[in-house]
Structure 1
Amino acid sequence: MKRIGLILIILLIAFSSGCTDNGQSKMVEKGDNVSVDYVGKFDNGTVFDTSLIDVAKEAGLYDANRTYEPMSFVVGTGQLISGFENGVLNMTVGEEKTLKLSPDEAYGEYNEEYLVPVPKSDLENASIVPEIGKQVGTLMGVATIVDITDSNVTLDFNSPLAGKNLTFDVTVVSIEKASKE
């Protein structure tokens, strides 16, 4: 009888201490649907994006029209930059990790060939008032106006994050395992 009592006490201690597998130990693998909270920063520590409302407010990035919640994606499908997707592999729910990404793992190097001059009249005909820094949608994708002359507007099709080293503080919130069909 003492032995059964001792076993029950050991089991009680194990369960209350978290020494059991409650599903938290599954690791992120390719094909899994993962939700993460993240804070994206430049090398100098400046926050450029986050899923956390408090961090956004503190960094002066808060946008009332945006929903701040964990970002969900399927790992290995190219939905996100490669360094981010590769960085979450083998993480577990609740795990925190800092990912330091070079431009090659993020948005690539800045490419001068992605600067495209277009006639100013083309934008005006599309009812777009050219302004430096304004983003415009085109058939080739979204571009930022970086220069305006009397006759031309230069559109930059590089990502605003191209050529930059990026750091992401990531916390895995949930993992939905890919079905093994």
Structure 2
Amino acid sequence: MTETIKEHDFIELNYTGKLTDGTVFDTTIEAVAKENGFNNEKANFAPAVICVGEKQILPGLDAQLVDKEIGKNHDVKLSAEEAFGKRDVKKMRIMPISAFKEHNMQPQPGMQIDADGKVGTVSRVSGGRVIVNFNHPLAGKEVVYTVNVIRKVTDVPEQIKSFLTTSMKMPGDKIDVTVNEDKAEIKLPMDLPEQFTEAISQKLAELTKLKEVKFVKAAEKKGEVKSENKN
């Protein structure tokens, strides 16, 4: 019987994003990354586990996954608005070159900068003025994603761990999840603000249908002895 994706299903998938001219700009597949000259050594090319509807991938792509068949390949076309947005002239800023020189920077076309928490790309340098484009580099572009939906993830510890890995950018081997009947405990190598853990716990309980999800302090390693400095 054919199984399709529903809102809030956890799924494992591979995907590759291309422009309409065939240029690859994103992928989870290592071989595709190498073929297209991706040089980010820190990138982890591996299938992603996401919760559909939680926008853990590009929102426009996420929205197109519902009703797609599990175990199949799918081509998903996204308009500029659905992908990275239209180009907005209001996001083009003229900055004085002195602002760069204050930070010992020599602006050149293509240079990326961070201004007020926003990433922009220098598009032109003319005299004492620098034009910086704060649009997404792919704004205004139609894109096509090839998506392989590998499987539906039903294991609750894996669901919780994958959700935290995506949300917190923390390696999965740093997250310990224990599920006992309708309750789950999560141990991390550090303590997090209570307001944050309460919100995440509530969200995870809602998504996994558990009665309780809570964070607990990571226990000390067995055999670890606290030393006392006695004078």
CA distance, structure 2, for counterparts of residue 35 and residue 159 of structure 1: 27
Spell out, residue by residue over 1:89-139, the C-alpha distance to the aligned partner (whole angstroms, 9 max, x if none).
Answer: 123442210001111211111111110111111122234331211111121
Q: Which amino acid aligns with 1:78?
A: K
CA distance, structure 2, for counterparts of residue 50 and residue 154 of structure 1: 31
CA distance, structure 2, for counterparts of residue 134 and residue 58 of structure 1: 25
CA distance, structure 1, for counterparts of residue 58 and residue 44 of structure 2: 21
Equivalent residue number for residue 94 of structure 1: 71
Spell out, residue by residue over 1:15-49, the C-alpha distance to the aligned partner (whole angstroms, 9 max, x if none).
Answer: xxxxxx8xxx6543223333321111111222122
Q: What SS class does the counterpart of residue 34 from structure 2 fall into? A: helix
CA distance, structure 2, for counterparts of residue 116 and residue 174 of structure 1: 45
Equivalent residue number for residue 14 of structure 2: 37
Residue 78 in structure 1 maps to residue 107 in structure 2: no
CA distance, structure 2, for counterparts of residue 151 and residue 175 of structure 1: 56
What TM-score, normalized by structure 1, do the two folds share? 0.76
Q: What SS class does the counterpart of residue 107 from structure 2 fall into? A: coil
Gaps of 5+ in 2: 155-206, 211-231
C-alpha deviation, 1:140, in angstroms = 4.4
Residue 179 in structure 1 maps to residue 208 in structure 2: yes
Residue 134 in structure 1 maps to residue 127 in structure 2: no
Equivalent residue number for residue 10 of structure 1: none
- What is the root-mean-square deviation in Å for CA atoms of aligned residues? 2.2
C-alpha deviation, 1:159, in angstroms = 0.7
Aligned-residue identity in percent: 28
C-alpha deviation, 1:162, in angstroms = 0.7
Count of paired positions: 158
Aligned CA distance change for structure 1 residues 137 and 35 (closer, same or farther; 3 Å)? farther
CA distance, structure 2, for counterparts of residue 130 and residue 122 of structure 1: 10
